[in-house]
Amino acid sequence: MAGSRGRFASRLGFILAAAGSAVGLGNVWKFPYLAGAHGGAVFLIVYLGFVFTIGISVMLAEFAIGRAGEKNPVGAFKHLKGGAWTGVGYLGVVGSCVILSFYSVVGGWTIAYAVKTAAGMPGLTDAKAFGGAFAAFVADPLQPVLYHLAFMAMTIAIVARGIERGIERACRLLMPLLFVIVVVLCARSLTLPGAMAGIKFFLNPDFSKLTGAMVTAALGQAFFSLSLGMGSMITLGSYLSRQTHLAGSALWVTSLDTLIAILAGFMILPAVFAFGFDPGAGPGLSFITLPAVFAKMPWGAGFGTLFFVLLAVAALTSAFSLLEVVVAFLVDEKGWTRAKAAYGAGAAIFLLGVPSSLSFGAWELKLFGKGFFELMDYAASNVMLPLGGVLIALFVGWVVSPRIMAETAGEDGRSFSLAPAWRVICRYVAPLAIAWVLISGL
């Protein structure tokens, strides 16, 4: 049975697919604006602390659950334990829909900006004008919704075709290219006059900025960026071969993801300060500063277009893993065909995303004091992801510990060297820390 579900051919293929899921808008778009809004260096320190303790541990737990269960998240929990624990799988399916709904809106922006940059943004030279252009674009009732539709349509088309060799091959080629472009843009941003203030902001901590809201945001971002808590990594792990070393893979994926986030910080924040923007500007930050950086570069239009195309690709490889959770559930548990599941779930998620897109100006809907987009993002990143994370850690640490310990052991049956620390994190550190952050955040 396991054989018919398909498997990753190599460890590299798996690491690239998991890194493709992890590396996305969370790194390039979200991380810099959160760091900007939450004091820069302090945010970075807290974020790194979470990533390399709780984050990496939960990722390993998800890989192990997935490979042990060989199913979608609902099926995996059912297979390993069943009962109320199956609810963690459902949380992942619902949460993946919520995240993809607003993720796709921003994915649409990247496509729009690829088009706009290629066409040239005539008359825009002054950095402030890019801010105005962005505000006008997202407030439009139609354009961003159509780009959101385009992004969702591409995601559906890819997922409907199955664990596509095309996307794996595309990742192998395009992810390194994205990396190179990010490094080039870092170099440009870091050498702008006035960049130093941004570097200081990003590296020189001001501990008076250490607040509860900031710690909550850092934890949420650690989960978001590593694709944790919602079963993406469980689903990917279910296609893994027995020989693959899980702990080493988790370290690779976590490190790659962190590297790209830090580089994105160096790409955006110095430019923010050089052009005199407000680092706390929110979700529009990268879409305003980067075009201003491109405008100041030789061949800026070319670099800009390439950058946004690659960013759209990185977003697609992440969106793919979100929709795959829902599709794997509908196929494994409900017996739907893959195509029906991809189109049905994709259409519903598109509709859920429309109010998010409109909430940037076209539709003044406020719930709990937040716009719809903000509310979806907050509910997912700051509540559902950490909640999923706590439950996964508790499940692995207490409920199915021996089975999962065996799953992460090498072929000789010996545990990896940090296994005792991992167990302590899953049992105590992660649940307590996340519960504390969740409660103080609410």
Instruction: Output 279 or 388, the one with its CB closest to ligand TRP.
Output: 388
Q: How far is the CB of 125 from ligand TRP (least distance, A)?
A: 31
Helices and strands, number each (H, E), in the chain: 22, 2
If one asks whether residue 72 binds ligand TRP (CB under 6 A), the answer comes out as no
Q: How far is the CB of 23 from ligand TRP (least distance, A)?
A: 6
**Cα(160)–Cα(361) distance, integer angstroms:** 33
Q: How far is the CB of 419 from ligand TRP (least distance, A)?
A: 25
CB 388 within 8 A of CB 229: yes
Closest CA to 269 of 25, 22, 26, 41: 41
Stretch that binds ligand TRP, among 73-81, 107-115, 228-236, 421-429 (CB under 6 A): 228-236
**Cα(150)–Cα(66) distance, integer angstroms:** 31
Stretch that binds ligand TRP, among 24-32, 79-87, 113-121, 164-172 (CB under 6 A): 24-32
If one asks whether residue 101 binds ligand TRP (CB under 6 A), the answer comes out as no
Instruction: Output 21 or 274, the one with its CB closest to ligand TRP.
Output: 21
Matching residue, tokens 């602390």: 49
Structure tokens given for 154: 């591409």
**Residue of closest CB approach to ligand TRP:** 26
* DSSP assignment of 21-65: HHSSHIIIIIHHHHHHHTTTHHHHHHHHHHIIIIIHHHHHHHHHH
Instruction: Encode 292-331: b = buried (16+ Cβ within 10 Å), e = exposed.
Output: bbbbebeebbebbbbbbbbbbbbbbbbbbbbbbbbbbbbb
Q: Classify residue 429 by its DSSP letter.
A: I
The length of the chain, given as a count of residues? 442
Binding to ligand TRP in span 412-441, by CB under 6 A? none
If one asks whether residue 309 binds ligand TRP (CB under 6 A), the answer comes out as no
If one asks whether residue 258 binds ligand TRP (CB under 6 A), the answer comes out as no
Instruction: Encode 276-286: b = buried (16+ Cβ within 10 Å), e = exposed.
Output: ebebebebbbb
If one asks whether residue 51 binds ligand TRP (CB under 6 A), the answer comes out as no
Stretch that binds ligand TRP, among 60-68, 128-136, 219-227, 415-423 (CB under 6 A): 219-227
Q: How far is the CB of 159 from ligand TRP (least distance, A)?
A: 13
Stretch that binds ligand TRP, among 42-50, 75-83, 224-232, 291-299 (CB under 6 A): 224-232
Q: Which of 104, 249, 321, 382 binds ligand TRP (CB under 6 A)?
A: 321
Q: Classify residue 81 by its DSSP letter.
A: T
If one asks whether residue 110 binds ligand TRP (CB under 6 A), the answer comes out as no
Helix (H, G, I), strand (E, B) or coil at 195: coil
CB 402 within 8 A of CB 419: no
Instruction: Output 39 or 220, the one with its CB closest to ligand TRP.
Output: 220
Stretch that binds ligand TRP, among 20-28, 54-62, 145-153, 194-202 (CB under 6 A): 20-28
Stretch that binds ligand TRP, among 17-25, 333-341, 417-425, 433-441 (CB under 6 A): 17-25
If one asks whether residue 232 binds ligand TRP (CB under 6 A), the answer comes out as yes
If one asks whether residue 225 binds ligand TRP (CB under 6 A), the answer comes out as yes
- Give the number of residues in contact with ligand TRP, rule: CB under 6 A: 17
**Cα(81)–Cα(74) distance, integer angstroms:** 11
Instruction: Output 17 or 186, the one with its CB closest to ligand TRP.
Output: 17
Q: Classify residue 208 by its DSSP letter.
A: G
CB 271 within 8 A of CB 364: no
Instruction: Output 55 or 279, the one with its CB closest to ligand TRP.
Output: 55
CA pseudo-torsion sign 237, 218, 383, 144 = negative
If one asks whether residue 408 binds ligand TRP (CB under 6 A), the answer comes out as no
If one asks whether residue 392 binds ligand TRP (CB under 6 A), the answer comes out as no
Binding site for ligand TRP (CB under 6 A): 21-22, 24-27, 99, 224-225, 227, 229-230, 232, 318, 321-322, 385
